[in-house]
Amino acid sequence: MSGISSAASGGPCNFSAPGPDFDFDDDEHDFVNPLEYFIAEIAPPYVPAPKAQKYPEVPIRTTDWDVSQGTKPAIKSTLVPFPFPGVGPAMKVDQPIPRGTDGLNTAIIIMVDRSGSMTSNAFPVEGRSLNRIEVARGLVCALIRLAQNQGDHFAVLSYGSSKYTEWPQSPPGNLASWKTSLSKDYETAFNYYSSYKIENFASGLPPPIPCTDGTDHSYAVEGIVEKLRGTGIDSVVSFVITDDFYNANSMFNGFFSTDPVAEVPRDTILRRNESTVYYFGIDNKGAEPRCRRTAEELNDLIDAHYGRPIKPRPAHFFPLDPSDPKAAKKMAQLMIELATSE
């Protein structure tokens, strides 16, 4: 960089002495995405390999039946004398139909708090600091990989002063895509949520989960219930991630808010059939004693509501703090274990 004189610039200052030359390295070659490092630390060790699929069988056509095949596959109404040639007893032919794991139409739903405090620093990775929402996005990526390995549908939602659809969106940017089908676009979603720079985000989509709201916990379960309504999903594992984890009574009242359609608590809806929901709190290390008490109190309130201990435990807390770098990994491990438990 050469100096700029007043004669050349027309300005009142004379920078006659040459300034230093700045050689800027190409950031694209040197940039380290800390989110990718974090995801690499939590996903491969804990996400299990794809399971062998067990698909339900449905009848797709009929064929001739004879007595050597036994009576079980026969269509009973055809086991009568037929006066017409070429017409005789028939049986159904079944074919496996893929619908998720173990013959169930399964899904993983992740609901993330988008309040302003989620931008607070969590811990450094590879010399760059991750904030809470970025850690949550890393957990989302690990669960997307799990959904992919299991053949599950998935969706990413957020809540704060309202409820929002984050993935999938139709059209892109529509935060009210409640009628859009759950996703199996694993790679696009994974790349989107693992991006670290805004300019790397998928074209047409806003930054993943912007943190601009307050926190109303009723919107967490309201959003999950609304997203699942009418999908025909048999088994759903839902996760709520929040850093507003201080008042067990307030959280309980929000999570057990009444659904106006079913007229029962929304937590109850999310535990029907083979489904379940878990509530994960995050904060710094200094808040750990208080937040762990909150988790215990929330679990006690949920047990009292159902009149029995709920296993596995629904509420958990993990400190995201430089002083406890393993906590986020433990949180990821537990979430994946819960999502794969029978």
Q: Give the tens place of pLDDT for each residue, 272-320.
A: 988 999 999 999 999 999 999 999 999 999 999 999 999 999 999 999 9
Question: Could you report the per-residue pLDDT of 31-53, keeping only the tens digit for each?
Answer: 568 888 888 888 776 676 655 44
Token pair 């690499």 is found at 40
pLDDT at res. 25: 42
pLDDT at res. 79: 54
Q: Dmax over Cα atoms in the chain, in whole Å?
A: 113
Mean pLDDT of 79-103: 50
Q: Is the pLDDT of residue 4 over 50?
A: no
pLDDT at res. 279: 98
List, in order, residues 6 or more apart from 195 with CB less than 8 Å away.
33, 35, 201, 202, 208
Q: Is the pLDDT of residue 145 over 90?
A: yes
Q: Which amino acid is at 250?
A: S
pLDDT at res. 227: 96
pLDDT at res. 159: 96
How far does Cα 71 stand from its chain's mean position?
47
Mean pLDDT of 161-181: 92
How many other C-beta atoms are found inside a 10 Å radius of the C-beta of residue 235? Answer: 17
- Across the chain, mean pLDDT equals 80
Helix, strand, coil percentages, rounded to 5, for the chain: 35, 20, 45
- Cα separation, 216 vs 251, in Å, equals 9
Of 67-81, 112-126, 138-152, where does mean pLDDT reach its minimum?
Answer: 67-81
- Are the C-beta atoms of residues 246 and 290 closer than 8 Å to each other? yes
Written out in words, the top-level CATH class of the domain with range 102-340 is alpha beta
Instruction: Supply 254's token pair.
Output: 């929000």
pLDDT at res. 47: 73
Confidence band for 128, pLDDT divided at 50, 70 and 90: confident
Question: Could you report the per-residue pLDDT of 177-207, keeping only the tens digit for each?
Answer: 999 999 999 999 999 998 876 554 555 666 7
The 10 Å CB-count burial string (b at 16+, else e) for 317-340 is bbbbbeeeeebbeebbbbbbebbb
Containing 342, the helix (H) or strand (E) segment is none
- Cα separation, 102 vs 340, in Å, equals 12
- Are the C-beta atoms of residues 155 and 165 closer than 8 Å to each other? yes
pLDDT at res. 2: 38
Q: Is the pLDDT of residue 264 over 60?
A: yes
Q: What is this structure's pTM?
A: 0.76
pLDDT at res. 55: 47
Q: Is the pLDDT of residue 88 over 70?
A: no
First to last CA, the chain: 65
pLDDT at res. 54: 47
Confidence band for 223, pLDDT divided at 50, 70 and 90: very high
pLDDT at res. 275: 93
pLDDT at res. 30: 57
Question: Where are the chain's structural domains?
Answer: 57-96, 102-340
Mean pLDDT of 83-88: 48
pLDDT at res. 324: 86
- What string of DSSP letters covers 319-335? E--TT-TTHHHHHHHHH
pLDDT at res. 341: 80
